[in-house]
Structure 1
Amino acid sequence: MNQTDVVIIGSGVGGLSCAAILAHYGFDVTVCESHTIPGGAAHAFERQGFKFDNGPSLYSGLSYSPSVNPLRQVLDAVGVDLPCVTYDTWGCCLPEGNFNASVGAEQFCEVLERLRGKDAVAEWRQLQRVMTPLAQAAIALPPAALRWDIGAALTIGRFAPTLAQQSANFLKLTGPFSRIMNGVVSDPFIRNWLNLLCFLLSGLPASGTNAAEVAFMFADWYRPGVVLDYPIGGSGALVNALVQGLEKHGGQLLLGTHVEQVLVESNRAVGVRLRDGQEIRARRAVVSNASVWDTLKLLPEGAVSKKFRSQRQATPECDSFMHLHLGIDAQGLPADLACHHIVVNDWQLGINAPQNVVLVSIPSILDPTLAPLGKHVIHVYTPGNEPYSLWEGLDRRSQEYEQQKLLRAEVMWQALERIIPDIRSRCEITLVGTPLTHERFLRRNRGSYGPAISADVGLFPGHSTPLPGLMCCGDSTFPGIGLPAVAASGLIVANTLAPVSQHLALLNRVGL
């Protein structure tokens, strides 16, 4: 029977962030990962010399410190470096035409003037003026300062002067961003653009995206001298950095270790039972990095009330993904080809309509080590807009499944052909992923992108549970889809378990 202070279920970025910080604090930590590769939705894999990112492709706030990005704060806290290459431009293939966009306010104004005229530029600048104090308010309280006990009075208290200055703006950050947008923006292209950014942030349009998330984005993307980052080695390098931080401080990661059930004794979570029958006992806590729905599956009957179970089970979910992973011959491609592209087929359908938005990432443009010489690695995906219902019940070994893959992958091929017209003749490796792939390898309920909780309806389920000894982290606990949100969730759980003195020392270490 194995003993540890904290056992963490799942090695997604939220779980690894929590584990690395806890190990830094001196806890004995064990992470159990069902897959043979760590990283959850951010894991990477290799085929014939091509290194594929499974999940995130757009990063910011990782190449400098101190940073407002909680993930960079985790890496700084545990003393692990993450070399990045920087850039500032991505391609857009929109109903209005094809063009390059950049972070930084001025360049977008140039695009606006070309597409929509001077009135649209004036409207965008007015939105910036409105968002500037809100952006300052959004970063006034770093998530790294949060903890869910009385010690928060001290960790949050050190930011009291700044918080007092921003108090008038905090109320404006609650509720959906559309409330702010509707009072300032009337130009249809700007409204469509903001809905697109909201969808990429939260999986929902502006009417469902929390205003604080958008304000945080404005603080990061539209400041002077801003750049975007890409970790050298891809998302796999990022995951490896977190694992290094965990193991550097004495924690351990167990791969191919499937948690079957949370152990509950005397109304307290005391460990986990693995598929092979072994048990790992936790002296302090069990932390689930699984989704809200998958965490419920791990709890024995009666461990939580029926009301709590039904409330959590009813958490609305985003749709799933289609993935297209390609290894291609790069000979003769334009030297100025952008590494990322956003394709929108029809604004009128709605930004979250199935297969309406397609994202394209060619990271080997930034980091040639991801592909053999003269080749490129490409990841195309539909971001949280593929209905699971189209795949439910299909046998992955059936002809019907293969035909469905060909049919539903076609929109990704067509999007990519707008960027590389002869792409189909260049392919050396072709891999198609579906919601069933997502469900199988990432242990995601119905292959979901995460909770789809509208900002005008309710809050995220949070980190605590009514079962003592059980806490949760990951994208089901903190608003915003993506690495900063899940890293923040892991930080908050780790800080709650640690003494306040250690938490304050961590804030000093990361420059907050």
Structure 2
Amino acid sequence: MMALHGVPRPAATLMRWVLGRRLQRRADVTLAEALAHVRDPQLRAILAARGGDYGLPPSHAPLVLHALVMGSYAEGGAGYPIGGPARLAESLAAGVWNAGGELRTGARVAQLLVEDGRAVGVRLADGREERAPHIVSAMGALNTIAALPDGVAADWRASIRRHEPSCAYMMLYLGFSGTADELRALGFDGANHWIYDGHATGAAPDPEALIWRNPTDEDAGALYVSFSGLNDPEHAQAPTAEVLALCDWEVFAAWQDSRLGHRPEDYEATKGWIEDQLLTQFKRLFPTLAQRVAYHELSTPLSQAAYALAPEGAMYGLATTPERLLDPRCMCAPPCPACCWRGRTWPRSASKAPPWAG
């Protein structure tokens, strides 16, 4: 089913016609429904533990999506770029330059230019216009909708708006005293950890507690902890880790109109409280590292909205629910001629979140 979103519409239509209802039935099955026959609750929790890789608890996650993510780990595992995530951008940039392309930073697109029903270019935030025969929007469906002129692709826009953004997230960035070898001597090997914290929820670990609903009142029920710095020989003298907690945008929505670097005091107080909460939880879960934390900083969904233009701080663009998988408007279909869209749309298994805060 997911493959239909990455092939041209004629091919996708043919596949739908050939496979018919069998395809729809499989896309409709959630992970929770598929695991309902597993009697052991601990085994169910283990099988469903990677929900954060696509941002959905088992009751909302398509089984086919979970299987795809698990299969990718089984085949090749997770990778880490030597030198940090910035190396990914540098490698992509080299490919563009070698092909004769040009890259510009700080060139925010304010509007897609459409003339006679056809995309012809973009207008930047500073008023400049750039025109080309073909336009690729890599800013995701919701940002593409916002950039389209009024009245263009009305049906497509209405269909996209029926789908909710994915969950938001917070990230606690940690720096440790000592070297990577010293941390390995303590038993840490660079592995990633999905932790469902029964201490936080007062119950058995439960993947349905994936989203941190009340970060100002309780510990996170689920955490992703990555000791990525132990996988990078270029940072062996300054090992790092990241602690990720998925959360609701509504917790931070009251401050969405504030500016980066000029957040109000109540936001800073809330952010500081959550940062201390996550740090305390990390130290409880990893007591041998408690005294080695030399640096910590928190990013919130407002950080993702400011730096990545992620609508509502969404981690994965539109939520990849069964309904979205079955929506033909979410396929590789252009909103108007000469324009196609890509970007923060499909879950990025085994990828790293950008290191920013604010």
Q: TM-score, normalised by structure 1?
A: 0.56
Measured after TM superposition, the shift of residue 404 of structure 1 is: 0.6
Code of the residue aligned with 1:296 in structure 2: it is I
Measured after TM superposition, the shift of residue 195 of structure 1 is: 2.4
- TM alignment of 1:443-482, pairs within 5 A: 443-449=309-315, 450-455=317-322, 459=326, 461-476=330-345, 478=346, 480-482=347-349
1:442 aligns with 2:308: yes
How large is the RMSD of aligned CA atoms in angstroms?
3.3
The structure carrying a bigger strand percent of its residues is: 1
Code of the residue aligned with 2:71 in structure 1: it is A
Matching residue of 1:175: 28
What secondary structure sits across from 2:209 in the alignment?
Answer: coil
Matching residue of 2:244: 381
Measured after TM superposition, the shift of residue 167 of structure 1 is: 11
Code of the residue aligned with 1:276 in structure 2: it is D
Matching residue of 1:341: 193
Matching residue of 2:152: 303
Matching residue of 1:417: 283
Structure 1 stretches lacking a partner, 5+ long: 1-137, 158-163, 485-512
Matching residue of 1:368: 233
Measured after TM superposition, the shift of residue 444 of structure 1 is: 0.7
Once residues 466 and 300 of structure 1 are traced to their aligned partners in structure 2, the CA distance between those partners, rounded to angstroms, is 12
Once residues 45 and 119 of structure 2 are traced to their aligned partners in structure 1, the CA distance between those partners, rounded to angstroms, is 46
Q: Aligned in 2, Cα 1:469/1:264: closer, same or farther, shift over 3 Å?
A: same
Q: Deviations over 1:169-224 (max 9, x none)?
A: 96774223437733652211121122222x1232112333223223334434446x
1:211 aligns with 2:56: no
Say if 2:55 and 2:166, in contact at 8 Å, map to a contact too.
yes
Say if 2:27 and 2:325, in contact at 8 Å, map to a contact too.
no
Q: Deviations over 1:106-129 (max 9, x none)?
A: xxxxxxxxxxxxxxxxxxxxxxxx
Say if 1:176 and 1:206, in contact at 8 Å, map to a contact too.
no
Once residues 286 and 59 of structure 2 are traced to their aligned partners in structure 1, the CA distance between those partners, rounded to angstroms, is 34
Q: TM-score, normalised by structure 2?
A: 0.78
Once residues 161 and 24 of structure 2 are traced to their aligned partners in structure 1, the CA distance between those partners, rounded to angstroms, is 29
Once residues 204 and 317 of structure 1 are traced to their aligned partners in structure 2, the CA distance between those partners, rounded to angstroms, is 11
Question: Alignment partner for residue 392 of structure 1, among 221, 235, 253?
Answer: 253
Matching residue of 1:27: none
Q: Deviations over 1:71-122 (max 9, x none)?
A: xxxxxxxxxxxxxxxxxxxxxxxxxxxxxxxxxxxxxxxxxxxxxxxxxxxx
Measured after TM superposition, the shift of residue 363 of structure 1 is: 1.6
1:313 aligns with 2:313: no
Say if 1:324 and 1:412, in contact at 8 Å, map to a contact too.
yes
Question: Alignment partner for residue 352 of structure 1, among 197, 206, 210?
Answer: 210
Question: Alignment partner for residue 296 of structure 2, among 430, 441, 466?
Answer: 430
Question: Alignment partner for residue 201 of structure 1, among 50, 53, 56?
Answer: 53
Once residues 264 and 167 of structure 1 are traced to their aligned partners in structure 2, the CA distance between those partners, rounded to angstroms, is 36
Say if 2:30 and 2:59, in contact at 8 Å, map to a contact too.
yes
Matching residue of 1:73: none
Once residues 241 and 335 of structure 2 are traced to their aligned partners in structure 1, the CA distance between those partners, rounded to angstroms, is 44
Equivalent pairs, count: 323
Once residues 337 and 127 of structure 2 are traced to their aligned partners in structure 1, the CA distance between those partners, rounded to angstroms, is 23
Q: Aligned in 2, Cα 1:387/1:458: closer, same or farther, shift over 3 Å?
A: same
What secondary structure sits across from 2:211 in the alignment?
Answer: coil
Structure 2 stretches lacking a partner, 5+ long: 199-204, 213-219, 352-358
Once residues 381 and 466 of structure 1 are traced to their aligned partners in structure 2, the CA distance between those partners, rounded to angstroms, is 34
Code of the residue aligned with 2:136 in structure 1: it is V
Code of the residue aligned with 1:464 in structure 2: it is A
Measured after TM superposition, the shift of residue 393 of structure 1 is: 3.0
Measured after TM superposition, the shift of residue 405 of structure 1 is: 0.8
Measured after TM superposition, the shift of residue 261 of structure 1 is: 0.6
What secondary structure sits across from 2:52 in the alignment?
Answer: helix
Measured after TM superposition, the shift of residue 246 of structure 1 is: 2.1
Q: Deviations over 1:349-402 (max 9, x none)?
A: 82323132111122221213135x2x31222111xx222222123345322122
What secondary structure sits across from 2:145 in the alignment?
Answer: helix
Once residues 205 and 218 of structure 1 are traced to their aligned partners in structure 2, the CA distance between those partners, rounded to angstroms, is 15
